[in-house]
């Protein structure tokens, strides 16, 4: 009986190892497929070579800070020079998050309102981006592979969003085409705290 059990255990180990090897090989092939397309997700919405590898904690942890301001509680203030986003809480305090901002030539400023909120949003590259990158897909369903991440907050009628990302190591960098990116963990936290209609002040 012990001999039979040992044989069964060996066979199970062999099958498991083969399945794992096939899975790893398929994952590498899928990653190579995207690499061969010439995609640079940093140029799209701020992704990178590990875009499909999952999320993680932000290198710039969110924290409560003193923030005297004239803006009303619930206002989002984005400081692109600091690469920080502040959610005004009132009483001279704010929640501060690390963000990724637009690279040179794509940073901007102004005042808008959150016009929509989406969970695991679909992504349709705007015409301007397609003109720069004709190899991009015309539409991507929402999900873990989508460059917009777990949540998106749409800024008025602009092409820009505050959205999630699976590349936490790029938070604090200037990597996007004008959108503001956060870790999925942070963007979910912000999403749950603000409403459609909230003011967003972008300081460039």
For residues 150 and 132, the answer to whether their CB atoms sit within 8 Å is: no
Query: Which position among 76, 179, 182, 187 bears the catalytic label?
Result: 179
* Chain position carrying tokens 């092939």: 29
Instruction: Determine the 3-state secondary structure of 120 from DSSP.
Output: coil
Distances 29 to 55, 59, 91, 167, 184 between C-alpha atoms, Å = 21, 30, 53, 20, 26
Long-range contacts of residues 18-21, Cβ cutoff 8 Å, at least 24 apart: none
Q: Report H helices in 37-140.
A: 41-44, 127-132
- Here the tokens at position 20 are 């794992």
Query: Which position among 163, 167, 168, 173 bears the catalytic label?
Result: 163
Q: State the Cα torsion 107-81-168-183 to the nearest 10°.
A: -80
* Chain position carrying tokens 């005004």: 88
For residues 191 and 151, the answer to whether their CB atoms sit within 8 Å is: yes
112 counts as catalytic: no
* Angle at the Cα of 80 from the Cα atoms of 139 and 171, rounded to 5 degrees: 60
163 counts as catalytic: yes
Catalytic positions: 163, 179
């Amino acid at each position: 009986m012990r001999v039979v059990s040992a044989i069964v255990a060996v066979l199970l180990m062999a099958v498991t190892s083969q399945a794992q090897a096939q899975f790893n090989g398929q994952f590498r092939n899928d990653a190579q497929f995207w690499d061969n397309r010439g995609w640079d997700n940093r140029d799209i919405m701020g992704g990178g070579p590990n875009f499909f590898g999952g999320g993680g904690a932000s290198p710039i942890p969110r924290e409560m800070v003193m923030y005297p301001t004239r803006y009303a509680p619930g206002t989002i203030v984005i400081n692109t020079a600091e690469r920080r986003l502040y959610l005004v809480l009132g009483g001279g305090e704010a929640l501060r998050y690390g963000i990724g901002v637009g690279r040179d030539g794509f940073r901007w400023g102004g005042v808008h309102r959150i016009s929509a909120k989406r969970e695991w949003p679909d992504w349709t590259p705007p015409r301007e981006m397609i003109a720069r990158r004709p190899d991009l897909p015309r539409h991507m369903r929402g999900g873990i592979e989508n460059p917009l991440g777990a949540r998106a907050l749409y800024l008025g009628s602009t092409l820009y969003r505050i959205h999630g990302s699976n590349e936490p190591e790029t938070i604090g960098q200037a990597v996007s085409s004008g959108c503001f990116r956060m870790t999925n963990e942070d963007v979910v936290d912000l999403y749950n705290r603000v409403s459609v209609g909230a003011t967003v002040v972008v300081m460039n």
